[in-house]
Structure 1
Amino acid sequence: MNVAGLTLSVSTLLLAALPISAQAHEVGGGEHGPSVVSLDWGAADTLDELGLAEHLVGVPHQSAPAYVSHLVKGRADIGGLKEPDVEAIAGLEPDLILVTGRQSGSLEALKAVAETRDVTLEEGNYFEALSSKVLSLASPYHAEEKAREKLAALESDIATAREGLAENLDALVVIHNDGRYVLRQEPIVTELLQIDQPALPNSVEPVSRGERTFYPLTPANIAEMAPDTLYVVDRSAAIGQSPMDTDALKAALADAGGADIGVTVLSPGLWYLSGNGLQSVRAQMDEILGGL
C-alpha cells in the first residue's frame, strides 16, 4: 500500500498559478459577496464548511441528501437537480447560480437570470481539481485563507487514513440501478485512499453511450474479481425508486463463489446526488473506511 503524501499537496497549490476557474474575479453582490443559488450540493456544502452559508439563498429541496438537510431550512426551494424551477430562481434575484452538467437542459434559461458558473470538477488529479473548486467558491468572499486551511486539514486526514489501512486491500465500487450493476470509477477510493481496484474479467464488455463508456457487471463478474469489499451506490434508492435487495445480492455473490466478499451499501444521496465538496468528501471517506 502506498502511503505517501497526495500527488499534489496544498502547499504546492499555494505556490503554483491557479487555474482561471480558481482565480478571484468580481461577481455582483457588493463588498459582502454574492447571493448564491446552488444546484450542486458539493458546492453548497463547501460554502457551509467555509462559514458562507448565509449567502446561500436557494437550494433544490427535493434532492437534499441527509447530511445537508440543515441547509434546506429557511431557504427557497428551486426545484430539482435536473429540472430546476427557473421562475423560482429568478424571483430570488441571485447574483450567482452554481450549476453542473445535470442542468444542461436549463442552462440558457438560467444564464438569462444571473451569472451562471459551472462547478463541475476539472479532469485530472482529483485533489488538485477539488482544491481548485473550493478556492474558486471562496474567492468572491475573500475567504481563500480559510479554504486553504480546510484543504490542508483534509489532506492531513487523508494521509492519516492511508497510513491506517491494511496492506494489499482492494475494493470495488458499483452503481445499482433497477437490479443491474455497473462499475463506478471512484477517486475517493483509488486516488485519495489509494485502495486498489481488482482487474475486470476479460468477459466484461464495455458499452458506449455517446462519449461515455460503461462496464456492466453481474454478481458472477464481481465474484470473479473477488474484492475484499464491494461498495454499492444505489441509484434507484437515490431517485426514489425501489432500493436494491441487499440480501439477494449477497446470495447471488455466494452462489458464484463470492461468499467472503463484504458488501457495504453507501448512503445513496451522498454518493449519487452530491460529492466533490469539503463536507461530502469527508463523509464519503468516512463511509469507505467504515466498510473495510
Structure 2
Amino acid sequence: MKNLKIKWVKILGVSLILISSFSTNAQDNNNVSLKRGDVEVQVKKYPKKVLVFDLSVLETFQELDIPVAAVPNSLPKHLDKYNSNQYVKLGSLTKPDIKAIQEFQPDLIITAGRQGSYYDSLAMIAPTVTFNVNNDDFWVSFQENVMDVARLYDKEDLAKQKLDALKKKAERIQKESAKDSKKAVTTLYVKGKFMPNGSGSRFGFVNDALGVKAAYVESPESKNAKKGEKPTAPSMSEINPDYLFIIDRETAINGEVKELSAILNDDVRNTNAFKNNKIFIVPGQIWYLAGSGLLSVDMKMTDIGEKLYCIKF
C-alpha cells in the first residue's frame, strides 16, 4: 500500500516536469515528440485527421473531448458513439485497410499490439505511434499514455483532473486490499480452457494496480519462453485462488456474456473462490479489447471495488 502511494506521487511529479520542459519545445516548433521504446515519432500539435485503432487510447480521446476522424469498423458498446457514420471506418482491429488508409491520408495513426504486423506499412503513410502499457509498471505507463495524448492538444489540465480522480479511487481500493489476506487471480477463458494471468501479466491489473495479493505469479522462464514453448500453467485447483476473475474472450468479441455455470468445470469448482462464491465474470469488452484507457481503467476499478469490498463510488 505504501509503495503504491509513493508511486502515484512520483508519477505526478514526473508528469509535471515533462509537461513543463516540453511546453517550450512545443511552442518553438509546434511538434510533440512521442517516444515508445527505441521508436521516437515527431507529431505536429493539433492533428485533425486522426485514425485510432487502439481502443484504450480512443477512450482517452473521448474522455478528454478530443475529436477523432477515423476508427476501426466495429466498436464495443462503451465506445458505441464511434460506430456512427460520422467516423470513417478503415479496417478491423486485426486487419487495417491499408489502401483505404492511404486514400484517407491521416495526420496521425495510433495503433495497438493487434496491428503490430502492419506498423511499417502504416508508418509509411503517416506518423504512427503505438501506445503500449508496461505490465510491470502499470500506473507509470498508463499515465504517460494519457499525458502524451493530452500534450498533443494542450489538454494537460483536464488529463490531470481525470488522473487525480482515478488516483483517489485506486487508493480507496488499495486501503482495503492492504488489509485483505485473500489472494486473487485473473484468468482468460478461451474455448473451454482457463489461462491464468498473474502479477506482471497483461491481465494482472487486480494485483499490480490495486494491490490485491496474487494467487499466481508466472515464472520468469514461462514469461520469457518463445511461442509454442511456454510450459503448461498450473490448474485452477493448484492455484486455488480466494478470488477468481474470468475474462471470456468470446464474450469480448461477440458481446454476449455467458452464465457462470456454462463455463465452470470440476477443476474450478475445487477452488476456494468457488466454495465461497467469489468467482466473477468481468466484461470482456472492457478487460480484453481495451483495458488501459481513462474509461476502462475507471470501470475496472469500480467493478473490483464493488465486488470485493462493497465500495460505492
Q: Which TM bucket (shorter chain)? A: 0.7 to 0.9
Q: What stretches of structure 1 of length at least 5 have no aligned partner?
A: none
Q: Taking CA–CA contacts closer than 8 Å with sequence separation of 6 or more, which of the two structures ends up with the larger relative contact order?
A: 1
2-side partners of 1:197 and 1:12: how far apart?
A: 29
The equivalent of 1:291 in structure 2 is 307
Q: Give the aligned residue type for 2:209.
A: L
**1:91-130 residue pairs with structure 2 within 5 A?**
91-122=103-134, 124-130=136-142
2-side partners of 1:201 and 1:90: how far apart?
A: 42
Q: Deviations over 1:95-129 (max 9, x none)?
A: 00001221122222212221111111246421111
Greater mean alpha carbon deviation, residues 166-175 or residues 189-198: 166-175
The equivalent of 1:67 in structure 2 is 78
Q: TM-score, structure 1 length as denominator?
A: 0.82
Q: What stretches of structure 2 of length at least 5 have no aligned partner?
A: 23-32, 309-313
Is the 1:176–1:235 Cα contact (8 Å) retained in structure 2? yes
Change (3 A) 1:212 1:236: farther
Greater mean alpha carbon deviation, residues 108-117 or residues 255-264: 255-264
CA RMSD in angstroms comes to: 3.3
The equivalent of 2:34 in structure 1 is 21
Change (3 A) 1:212 1:45: farther
**1:202-217 residue pairs with structure 2 within 5 A?**
206=222, 208-210=225-227, 213=230, 216-217=233-234
Change (3 A) 1:232 1:138: same
2-side partners of 1:254 and 1:191: how far apart?
A: 23
Greater mean alpha carbon deviation, residues 273-282 or residues 183-192: 183-192
Q: Give the aligned residue type for 1:269.
A: Q
Sequence identity (%):
22
Change (3 A) 1:66 1:3: farther
Change (3 A) 1:251 1:108: closer
Q: Give the aligned residue type for 2:266.
A: A
Q: TM-score, structure 2 length as denominator?
A: 0.77
Is the 2:56–2:290 Cα contact (8 Å) retained in structure 1? yes
1-side partners of 2:97 and 2:191: how far apart?
A: 28
Is the 1:81–1:103 Cα contact (8 Å) retained in structure 2? yes
The equivalent of 2:5 in structure 1 is 5
Change (3 A) 1:15 1:201: closer
2:213 is the counterpart of 1:196: yes
Matched residue count: 282
User: What SS does the corresponding residue of 1:175 show, helix, strand or coil?
Assistant: strand
